[in-house]
Chain A
Amino acid sequence: MANFLLGRLVQSLVLLFIVSVIGFAVLHLAPGGPLAQFALTPGISHAELARMAHQMGLDQPLPVQYWAWLRRLLGGDWGHSYRDNQPVLAVILGRLPATLELMATAIVIAVLTGVWIGVMGAIRRYSIFDMLATIGAMIALSIPTFWFGLIVIYIFSVNLGWLPPGNRSTIGGGGGILDYLHHLIAPAIVLALVEVAVWSRYMRASMLDVINQDFIRTAHAKGLPARTVLWHHAMRNALLPMIALAGVEMPTLLGGALVTETVFTWPGMGRLLLDSLGYRDYPVVMGILMVSALLALLGNLAADLLAAVADPRIRLR
């Protein structure tokens, strides 16, 4: 186990380094820059922009800029945002809770609903429920999250007035726990929708694999109740591939949060990334890239560890 962890740590560091080099190069080689936002601002002349670019080091060769960034990062300094001059780590950590809150809720909804639909679909294969679930999953996978979000707002906020049209809490309203939960319903469901479809399809396939295996037949032959066979024997085995799925789905959820956070004006990492990309806020984009890469690596590592714990046949070396 120790060797496995050490190996993964080295792999992760190499990967993070590669991600940082590619990310930095792509970001900086793309045309445009952080000062473009001021180009049309009345009163700011080109001469002043050129002076700013020099003072910010943006006129330095790319390797010099990268080395300066990396050296600061290794020293624990993630740099400062070009937009609001706040430390990058503080900016990211300030947004992380909102995204985690949304993602965690969406994961819970997606896993519980998706697993249940998948299991039911498998044991009642080709039933009306199964067919409806299949069609529903296809629709959910095909609908753009952005559009679905707007439809939810239109129906439940504009027409029915049941749910707020966005935001994390009532503006200027203090925000009690119920207020937060009320605001969380719509974005969490919208973000979870695609994941429900994915989880239900994977779960259905996995369950179908398991329930046709010999040990399930044996369990039935032993006279075990159908419920015990299903939830105790079949389910535990069918869930094993889902652990790996959870690991790789982490970046997908982050991507979905990007859109959901924009539609529901949710002040999370997704919105921060979009804004920072738009303004070419290099330090923040690089910070988010590194944090996201780290989360993805941790997600996969956690999935591997969990799989080993859950499945005695797996040995980590």
Chain B
Amino acid sequence: MEDDPRTDRTPRLVTPRRRLLAAGAATGAMAWLGPKLGWVAQAHAATPPAKPTGQIVIGFSQEPTVFQPLLPHIEVDEGVYFNLFSALWRVDATGALQPDLVAEIPTVANGGISADGTHWHLKLNPKAKWHDATPFTAADVAFNIALIQNPKFLAGRRAGIDLIEQVTVIGPHELRFRVKKPYAPLSAILSWTFLVPKHLLEKVADINKPEAFLAHPIGTGAFKWGERVPGDHITLTAADSYHGVGPYVEKLIFKYIPDMTVLYTQFQTGTVDYVGIQGISPDRYAAARKLPDRIVAPAPQPFIENIAFNLGKPVFQDRAVREALYLAMDKKSIIQEIYYGLPTETESFLPSQSWAFNPKLPPHRFDPAKARALLDAAGWKPGAGGVREKNGVRLEFTNSTTAGNHTREQAQQLLQQNWQDIGARMSIKNLPPAVMWGDYWTYSKFDTTMVGLDFMVGPDPDATQYFGSGGIPAKGGGGDNTTQYVNPEVDKLLAQGAAEVDPAKRRPAYLRMQELTRRDLPYLPIFQYAMVQGVKKGLVGFTPNVNVQENSWNANSWYWAS
């Protein structure tokens, strides 16, 4: 395993791409026109072949291993799920929901969701079939909900689904359910809940180890299971019975290449057609752009690179310290010199493409003099070795991230210098991924960490897990609030945002919340990631999507220009 998944994520693009992405999604043919225009629709898109033709090899630096999508899995597994399974709906590159297993997206306007958001009525796509030709029905949806709610089942994600009750199957393609309380992120959660077949899983002896299904999974996606050579590749083949657009290629192959250098070499030599997940590392961007017959360009991701503080430590409880460290951070050098100018500077925990993003947050300024003055005023006086102290607490701490991530290590070294200049001593304490993101991170045993986080729930801006005071694991909470951030106003805004279904009414809560996190700085936001995408020229339909974990999300509509 090279680096932590969130490590070599490279920087991102310019914001006004949203409209352009929409255009691209509509035609299904994208091309990179440079940093000002981004990925846009090709003027003369080739037409897809009449029957599935050829193959596409997707290179991943992590191995997809979990083929029951409701079990705990990581982002690379979702790259396969998007093509093997289907959810009720999917999120396109503009953030809009598109029907998949449903005939239409339920809304308040079409009566699919009650005005208070508690009653849902789903109409399913009657053309949808499992790959073994069994019809997909409302009973399958009910089974999946029950399975996720089953306490004996090791469900990876339960939040939101656990609020569903009174599921009523009205007919083969129609069902109703009730939600205990209005919960806006439910639509987003259902967009990444890939459904599994009732007829194959309801009778397995151990629901957590359905060996036969895991060895030969059956879904409703555009591609069906071909073969898996563990540690090497997975082959999916075109499903004739697919209910949606495509597929246009005969085989979709996910090739596992753990070493990033080797992955790049195989892209260079033409063995791999698209470099997925972590993409191409920023230091290779310039060289990769010169490769003949390859399109290489950055595409935004929802991950925000941060310095996370452990607010349980006395030294970080003083807001002046966090503010001073932010002022002394040479953010531009990190982005320009270490990440080759690819990421976008940010002040928010939300990606700039989100409808809830606040573009009016106070911009960061690199001002060490002001940082020193702020610390002086707050009573942090230089002590032994030039390190500031206040009431016996020294401004001295560690910073941790995944060991072996060279890009981050350089950023850490720069920050070390930046902060030393204002009398703060930071030492680097990097750890292997299985250690770093285990109890050390979860139970807030760190001082500070450098981490890339997707705070959203799919395309939904709900960040209760990360900022809600009830979600601090070190204090017995069940969320991911590892900075131990507590702000009653934020709690109120999060509850308000999650309970309101109308995005227009939700937005003010999230705008205000971003102001508060920018002011309180439980995380120092550095940049929004973009991944350097590499695709072989002639691959039509590739559409980067900031709302999903992996850009193979629409491989059903990919094909080769003849």
Contacts and interface: CB of A to CB of B under 8 A. Distances in A.
* Genuine A/B complex: yes
Nearest to B4: A40
A218 interface: no
Contact of A40 (B209, B271, B453): B453
Contacts of B431: 31-32
Interface stretch (A60-68, A114-122, A209-217, A262-270): A262-270
A166 B266 contact: yes
Given A31-B440, A84-B66, A42 B454 contact: yes
A165 B156 contact: no
A172 interface: yes
Interface stretch (B227-235, B406-414, B513-521): B227-235
B159 A45 contact: yes
Interface residues of A, number: 61
Interface residues of B, number: 76
B432 interface: yes
A278 B271 CA distance: 26
B283 to A, nearest CB: 16
Contacts of A153: 262, 265
A80 interface: yes
Listed residue (A30, A36, A263) with the most chain B CB atoms within 10 angstroms of its CB: A36
A38 B78 CA distance: 13
Interface string B192-224: 100000000000000011010011000000000
A125 interface: no
Interface stretch (B128-136, B359-367, B477-485, B535-543): B477-485
Contacts of A33: 434, 438-439
B382 interface: no
B65 A280 contact: no
Given A31-B439, A85-B209, A171-B57, A42 B231 contact: no
Nearest to B78: A41
B472 to A, nearest CB: 9
A95 interface: yes
Interface in A43-79: 43-52, 55-56
A251 interface: no
B120 interface: no
A148 interface: no
B339 interface: no
A296 interface: no
Contact of A83 (B66, B159, B211, B251): B66
Nearest to B443: A46
Interface string A13-41: 00000000000000000111111111111
Contacts of A274: 1, 258
Given A153-B265, A275-B258, A36 B271 contact: no
B230 A279 contact: no
A57 to B, nearest CB: 12
A201 interface: no
Interface in A79-136: 80-81, 83-87, 91, 94-95
A306 to B, nearest CB: 32
Nearest to B268: A158
Given A40-B451, A44-B156, A150-B261, A164 B271 contact: yes
Contact of A157 (B261, B265, B479): B265
Contacts of B441: 36, 39
A36 B434 contact: yes
Contacts of A95: 230-231
A278 B434 contact: yes
B261 A172 contact: no
Given A45-B465, A157-B265, A167-B271, A265 B434 contact: no
A165 B438 contact: no
Given A48-B158, A271-B258, A83 B72 contact: no
A39 B442 contact: yes
A272 B67 CA distance: 18
A275 to B, nearest CB: 6
B259 interface: yes
Listed residue (A40, A52, A80, A172) with the most chain B CB atoms within 10 angstroms of its CB: A40
Contact of B257 (A48, A55, A85, A265): A265
A16 B271 CA distance: 42
Contacts of A94: 230
Contacts of B257: 166, 265
Nearest to A280: B434
Interface in B260-300: 261-262, 265-266, 268-269, 271
Listed residue (B73, B230, B458) with the most chain A CB atoms within 10 angstroms of its CB: B230
A280 B431 CA distance: 14
Interface in B173-196: 189, 192
Contacts of B63: 83, 275
B508 to A, nearest CB: 24
Contacts of A39: 437-438, 441-442, 480
A166 B65 CA distance: 21
A168 interface: yes
Interface in B1-37: 1, 4-6
B37 to A, nearest CB: 29
Interface string B149-169: 000001111110000000000
A286 B189 CA distance: 37
A43 B269 contact: no
A165 B209 contact: no
A168 B436 contact: no
B423 interface: no
B560 interface: no
B433 interface: yes
A265 B438 contact: no
B118 interface: no
A45 B471 contact: yes
B74 A37 contact: yes
Given A37-B434, A43-B192, A84 B230 contact: yes
Listed residue (B5, B232, B436, B442) with the most chain A CB atoms within 10 angstroms of its CB: B232
Listed residue (B158, B457, B477) with the most chain A CB atoms within 10 angstroms of its CB: B158
Interface string A141-168: 0000000001001100110010011111
Given A40-B437, A80-B209, A84-B214, A167 B232 contact: yes
Contacts of B437: 32, 36-37, 39-40
B231 A267 contact: yes
Contacts of B215: 86
Interface in A174-205: none
Interface string A247-269: 00000000000000011110110
30 contacts: A31-B438, A35-B72, A37-B434, A38-B72, A38-B156, A40-B451, A41-B74, A42-B454, A43-B189, A43-B192, A44-B72, A44-B157, A45-B480, A46-B480, A48-B158, A49-B442, A83-B65, A84-B214, A85-B208, A85-B209, A86-B215, A150-B262, A153-B262, A157-B265, A166-B257, A166-B271, A167-B232, A172-B253, A264-B262, A274-B1
Given A45-B471, A46-B471, A272-B231, 5 more contacts: A37-B74, A40-B4, A46-B442, A48-B72, A153-B262
Report the 5 A-B pairs with minimum CB-CB distance, sorted nearest first.
Answer: A47-B478, A278-B1, A32-B434, A267-B232, A32-B435
